[in-house]
Amino acid sequence: MTQEMFHATTTFPLTDPMRLIRRLCKHWAHKITTEYSDSEGSVDFGDQKTAKLYANEGTLTIKISTPTKSDLETIQDVVERHVVRMIPEEEITKIKWELSL
């Protein structure tokens, strides 16, 4: 029996998405497991709560998966606060999440 997971995805424009992925992964690496390569990153918040980050030409896509809706809202908030804090001020945008099961 597989557990139902909750998902949220956002994509928004960013001049250097890979720079943000590296910064986020390095920032969180002191407390949780993170990995990144030349075009993507992953963050394991524990207890089946994950964020995958993908750098595309001029955009960043973030996909979050969690076992509960409450966890999803918490991780979305954590990721969003860190993204807004770490991107250049002139590139701050409203992050709109698409939710799915």
CATH number, domain containing residue 89: 3.30.310.50
Q: Is residue 89 part of a domain?
A: yes
Number of domains in the chain: 1
Q: Is residue 46 part of a domain?
A: yes
Q: Is residue 33 part of a domain?
A: yes
Query: Distance (Å, rounded) from C-alpha 71 to C-alpha 43?
Result: 14
In the DSSP assignment, the letter for residue 5 is -
Per DSSP, the three-state class of 10 is: strand
Q: Is residue 66 part of a domain?
A: yes
- Structure token pair of residue 23: 């910064």
Q: Is residue 17 part of a domain?
A: yes
pLDDT tens string, the chain, 101 residues long: the values are: 457 899 999 999 999 999 999 999 999 999 999 999 999 999 999 999 999 999 999 999 999 999 999 999 999 999 999 999 999 888 878 889 999 86
Q: 58 lies in which domain range?
A: 6-100
Q: Is residue 1 part of a domain?
A: no
The pTM of this model reads: 0.92
Q: Is residue 73 part of a domain?
A: yes
| Cβ within 8 Å of residue 27, ≥6 positions away | 82, 86
The pLDDT assigned to 1 comes to: 46
Q: Is residue 31 part of a domain?
A: yes
* Residue 50: closest CA among 8, 12, 20: 8
